Amino acid sequence: MFIRPCYRRKNGKRHAYWALVESYRTERGPRQRTVAYLGLLKESERQGVKKVAGDTQPTFKQMHLFDTDNKPEPEWIEVDTANVRVENQVDFGGPWPALQLIRILGLDELLETVMPAGRETVPWSKMALILAICRLCNPSSELHIAEHYYRHTALPELWGIPAEKVYDERLYRALDKLLPHKESLERYLKERLGTLFDLKYDLLLYDVTSTYFEGECGMNPKARRGYSRDKRPDCKQVCIGLVVSKCGMPLGYEVFEGNRNDVKTWQEIVLTMEARYGKADRIWCGDRGMMSKENLDFMQAGNRKYIIGASKSSLKRFERELLASDWQQIREDLEVKLCPSPDAGEELYILCRSQDRREKERAMHQRFEQRIETALKKLQTGCEKRRYKKETIDRKVGSIMAKNSRAAGLFEVEVKDTETGAMISWSKNEKWRLWAELNEGCYLLRTNVMDWSAEDLWQAYIQLTEAEAAFRIHKSDLKIRPVWHQKEDRVLAHILVCFLAYVLWKTLHQMTQAAGLGDEPRRIFEELGKISLVDVVLPTRKGVNIRRRCIRRPTVHQAILLSRLRLDLPWQLKS
């Protein structure tokens, strides 16, 4: 769900409000419907709600930046209105909400504890949080933060650190000071987030991604070339394994060598999380890239529960179940069924069949079949016009099949060496086609959780999309890639800062959902980010200029968001 700004004219006045909109699928394609309208309450309505609520404490308590009690009496003075001007407009609406999120989580207090102030001019705890705030608001390099971004925001006033005190070398050293506290940060955030949002860590979702480097990274032993999810096989990379709860809240992460296969990270991450948080009664969930006999034996030997994707080739063992009609429909386009293990072990298989996925795979098979046939006909025509060696044609056929592997099994190609050169012929394997049509849209899960229904097991597995969404946010919104650092510790600290920024992002996400504002914090952050801080200069009759640091008043739409999130925007900052 997401929010959409709306306007309405009533009694000659223009009223602003938000529409909470939900996207859903139909047979004719995606559609949208309005779930609720969100606007500002009248004062009488607000007081009534407050009275009904009584003394109940809100989940999120706003930390006031300035003392609003005992306001001084107004002082009147004559101002030259013709020369009133505004100067030094800086970004306020990005850093200020980020600072509120930090205080809600208590990150500032934690870092002050684990990074106590020493002889340094600026506390390292504050410098580390500056990195996290800037990564959330405007992801960029430490040099750009020092020379451009920090001084053009309200952070010097909000954080109390002058712009000249923030320079690139100090930011780099802040990375070095922050990294040793990674484990204590993860432990604290797990407990704090669990308390704030009543999170359950009974289902842990695990996935792996990669992020690439610019440069040789000669000083980083983890930087290796491997399978690149970023389509940059030319660059060295590291792999990041992330563990999240079923709502996508991060629990922890580990960084692996860039050439480490996903399946080789599973046991290490499970043991790491168990050593950090205890074994408890958790269910581990991973995609089929994590499945191997060694991993399954490891999970079963330790009495650990799991739900994991099985390989596509495993469907061959369930051909009879695919043909049967006893499917359980749990969604308009999805059917599932529980199947006992063919090996008579203490495992269950969940057979899933998706109509949308079937149509997609069918279209892919048709497209690749057509491509292969077109390429083979072209190659056959070339053989008739020119004399080729058999080895040359074999290589070309292999290249065609490799590029169109989805339908390669359908074709049985024969290359003969004749007096006039190599000749090519082919036929189609109809048994392969029948099997492909039968298993289109089907996939298989396996688990040792024996007391759940097929629907519950599928729902748990599908939550893996939360881990995928976490990686998308890291790469698109927080710009974790490319990594420009070369030293191993700096790279690890850079990833830790991105992790902290993601925690702030998910905290805002949870607050957004609790406030009934949908599940798109990006839109909330962009809207509040338009609020700026300015210096208002008032020339007076006495020849003295009065300078006031003022926060731009929020629009009606922004005011609705602040009210729903229970954030009180300060009226002005002290000069």
Question: What pLDDT score does 2 carry?
Answer: 72
Which sign, positive or negative, has the C-alpha torsion 126, 136, 463, 237? negative
What pLDDT shows up at residue 252? 95
- Residue 445: helix, strand or coil by DSSP? strand
Is residue 536 predicted with pLDDT exceeding 70?
A: yes
Residue spans of beta strands (DSSP E) within 287-401: 305-309, 328-331, 334-340, 348-354
Higher pLDDT, 339 or 15: 339
pLDDT band at 119 (very low <50, low <70, confident <90, very high): confident
pLDDT of residue 519: 86
The pLDDT of residue 548: 87
Residue 280: band (very low, low, confident or very high) from pLDDT cuts 50, 70, 90 = confident
Kindly indicate the confidence band of residue 27, based on its pLDDT and cuts at 50, 70 and 90. low
What's the rounded Cα separation, in Å, for the pair 80 and 432?
86
* CATH fold of the domain at 200-316+448-486: Nucleotidyltransferase; domain 5 (3.30.420)
Distance (Å, whole) CA 467 – CA 444: 20
Domain spans, the chain: 1-56, 91-198+487-531+566-575, 200-316+448-486, 357-439
Name the pLDDT band for 362 (thresholds 50, 70, 90): very high
Q: Cβ(20)–Cβ(516) under 8 Å?
A: yes
Max CA pair span of the chain: 108
Task: Using only the alpha carbons of the chain, give its radius of gyration.
Answer: 30
pLDDT, tens only, 150-165? 999 999 999 999 999 9
Quote the pLDDT of residue 52.
46
pLDDT band at 63 (very low <50, low <70, confident <90, very high): very low
Q: Give me the pLDDT at residue 265, please.
A: 96
pLDDT for residue 541: 86
At 31 the pLDDT is 77
Q: Helical H runs in 404-447?
A: 430-439
Mean pLDDT to the nearest integer, 123-139: 96
- For residues 178-183, average pLDDT: 96
pLDDT tens for residues 28-52?
677 788 878 777 655 554 555 455 4
Evaluate if residue 61 carries a pLDDT over 60.
no
For residues 45 and 551, which has the higher predicted lDDT (pLDDT)?
551
Cβ burial 228-259 (10 Å sphere, 16+ → b, else e):
bbeebeebbbbbbbbbbbbbbbbbbbbbbbbb
Q: pLDDT tens digits for 399-416?
A: 999 999 999 999 999 999
288-324 residue pLDDT tens: 989 899 999 999 999 999 999 999 889 999 999 999 9
**How many distinct helices (H) and strands (E) make up the chain?**
19, 18
Tell me what pLDDT residue 573 has. 74
Decide if pLDDT at 56 tops 50.
no
The percent of residues above 90 in pLDDT, for the chain, comes to: 69
Express each pLDDT in 371-388 by its tens digit. Answer: 999 999 999 999 988 999
User: Residue 574 — pLDDT band, cuts 50, 70, 90?
Assistant: low
What average pLDDT score do residues 199-207 get? 93
Lowest-confidence segment of 144-148, 187-191, 342-346, 455-459 by average pLDDT: 342-346
Residues 6+ apart with CB under 8 A from 552: 92, 531, 532, 533, 534
Q: Are 535 and 547 in contact (CB under 8 A)?
A: yes
| Percent of the residues in the chain that have a pLDDT greater than 70, as a whole number | 93
Give the global pTM. 0.86
